[in-house]
A and B are shown apart, each in its own frame.
Chain A
C-alpha cells in the first residue's frame, strides 16, 4: 500500500459512501474469514460495492494505491480462500444480491454475485424450474463464491458442478477492465472460453460482478433410499446397480460412526434396526410408478448378493428430508470435536481401496484418532474427518494431522486423484497443490494470472 489508511478510507468513501464501508473490529473479524479457522483475520477494511461500476472504480483505486483485494462471498468456503490475514481490503458482495432478469424460454436467470444460492433455488422453484446445485451451506453461500470455487455438492452425479450452470459471466479483472463472457449462449465456439477459466479461479483472476445461470426442469417426485452396507467395497456394485436401473439424483455415503454422532446430536432416530458399518443414501426420481418397483428390485438384487443387509425408502417428502438430514447434518454435528477435514477425490472405482489405505495408515500411527468418513461417493469424492481426542491439545492434534495430510495426499497421488475435490485450494491446500498438478501446469496458471492481474492485487497468496 502506498498511502495512509485515512487516505484509503477517504478514497473508498468517495466510491461506495458510508453505507458501503465497514471498519469496526467486529466487522473486520466477521468479513475477514471464511468457515475455516485457518488464519487470523486482519483486513484493513471491508468495502461493499453496490454495482459493477463501483467494483471497476475499486479495482482501479486498489491498483493505483497497491492495495491487495480479497473477494468475499457467503464466507462458507472451506479452504481459506476468502480469508484476509494480512491487511487486505475485503470486497464483499452482500449489497449486490438482486436477481436482475429471467427469461423462461431461455431458462436463464441473470444474477448479481451476492445472490444467495438458496435464493436462486427458490426463485427457480417459483418459476416451476430447478437450480440443481445444492449443499448444506446453500442458505449462506453466494453465487459469486459458488462460481469462484466451482462448488459441487449433493447432486453432482446427475447435474454436474456449478460450472455446468454458468451460461454467462461479467468480471472485473485486476486491471479494472469489465469483461463479459459468453452472454448466455448455448453454442459459442469462438476460441478460448474464458468463462471456464474464471470458474474455480478463487478470486485470483477477477471479481465476478454478474452471472447468467441456467435452470433445468424440476425432478419428478424424488424418493430417498437408505441402504445398510456391510463393507466399503460393496458400495461399488450397489452404485453400479442403482446407476444402471434408476434415474439417480444423488448417491452419498456415510459411516456408522458419523450416523451415531448425528443421531445423538440432533435427536434423530436410527433409520432401521440393524447397524451396518456404512450407509449409502440413494436419491432417485419417480418418473413413473415403475421406478419404485425398480428400486425394490435393485434392493432385492443387492440383498441377494450380500452387498446390503437392510434399508429403508422414504414414504413421503418429510421422511425424504429426514433421511437426508442423517447425511447433511454430519458436518455441523462433528464441528464440536474440532475435526481435521480433508476433501479429496479419486476415480469412483478406486474409492474403497483408497479408504482402506487411509484407514490403515492413520489407524496404525494414531489408534486413538476417530475417523469419520462421508461424502459424495457417487462422484469419487470423499470427506475425511478426524475428530480431535478430548485429551489432546489442539496445536499438537493439528501438527499430527499435518503429517496425516502428507500421507493422504501421497495415496491420492498414487491413485491419480485430486487433493481438493470441491472445496478449492485457497490457503489451506496451496502447499499441497503439487500432489495433483505438475510444475508446468502451476507455471501456466501463474502466467495466466499475470495476464488478468498483472500487479497481483487479486487475492494474493491464494491458490498458486
Chain B
C-alpha cells in the first residue's frame, strides 16, 4: 500500500499573529513556521501503518513556496520515505490544493491519502472532502482511530455528541482529528538521515492543474478585543451585575 500524506507549512501554533495594518492579511514576516499540527498527526498515522506492516511507502507532499522543504524534511525525519514539493508562491484555495493532490495521487498510484482535517491558519476544513469527491473515493473525516482490516480501512470519526465508525473500501481519504495519535519527536539521527532522502519538485503547470482563483480576500480584521475581567467585592455585587449588566439571571 502506498500512502500519501499532505503537509501544510503554517505559522507555529504558539505564535501570536497580528493583522497587517492595511488589512490585507496577517503579518508573517520572520514568524516561526511549522507543520500544521493536524498534518503532523497524519504523518504519525502513516508511520504507524508502515510500522504495523500495512503500508510499504509513505510519500509526503507539500504545496507552496520553496521553504516548504523544511516541513517536508521534518516529515522525512519522522519516517516518510520521500517528498514531493509542488512549488507555487501564491496562496491557493482548497479546491486548487485538492486538484493538485488528485494529480499527485494519479501520478503515484496512491492507495490511501491521509490529511489533517483542517489547517490552523485558514481553518477551511475542505481539502480532504474535495479530494475524495474529485477521486470519487470514500472518505473518513475527523478520524480519532483508523485500522486496516482485510484491505479496507475502519475509521472512527468524531461527530457531534459522540463517535461514528465507518468501514471504507480502498483507495480512500482519511482526515485526522486531534485524538488520533500523539506525534513522536524527530530523532536527531533520523533528522540527519532525512537529509539524504529525495524530495522531487514539480509545479501546478507540470501537473496540468489550473490553480486560478475564484475568490478574492477583501479584508482581514482582528477579532474584537475582550474587555478585561473585574473583581467584585461581594456576592451581592456579583448577583447584581449578573442581573443588570450581563443579564444572564
Contacts and interface: CB of A to CB of B under 8 A. Distances in A.
A406 interface: no
Given A316-B12, A317-B13, A269 B184 contact: yes
A283 interface: no
A321 interface: yes
B74 A300 contact: no
Nearest to B32: A221
Interface in A254-269: 269
B182 interface: yes
Interface string B31-43: 0101101000000
B228 interface: no
B248 interface: no
A401 B141 CA distance: 57
A326 B20 CA distance: 37
A270 B182 CA distance: 11
A6 interface: no
B33 to A, nearest CB: 9
B189 A310 contact: yes
Interface string A259-287: 00000000001011100000000000000
A375 B74 CA distance: 30
B37 A318 contact: yes
Size range of the interface on A?
20 to 34
Interface string A297-334: 00110010000001111111111010100000000000
The residue in A221, A315, A323 that gathers the most chain B C-beta atoms within 10 A of its C-beta is: A315
Interface residues of B, number: 18
A312 B12 CA distance: 19
Contacts of A323: 185
Contact of A312 (B13, B182, B188): B188
B187 interface: yes
Interface in B171-207: 182, 184-189, 191-192
Given A221-B32, A296-B192, A269 B74 contact: no
A313 B186 contact: yes
B32 A311 contact: no
A199 interface: no
Contacts of A273: 187
A226 B12 CA distance: 20
28 contacts: A221-B32, A226-B185, A227-B188, A269-B185, A271-B185, A272-B185, A296-B191, A296-B192, A303-B188, A310-B187, A310-B189, A311-B188, A312-B185, A312-B186, A312-B188, A313-B188, A315-B74, A315-B185, A315-B186, A316-B13, A316-B14, A316-B34, A316-B35, A317-B13, A317-B15, A317-B34, A319-B185, A323-B185
The 5 A-B pairs of least Cβ separation, nearest first, read A316-B34, A317-B14, A312-B185, A311-B188, A272-B187
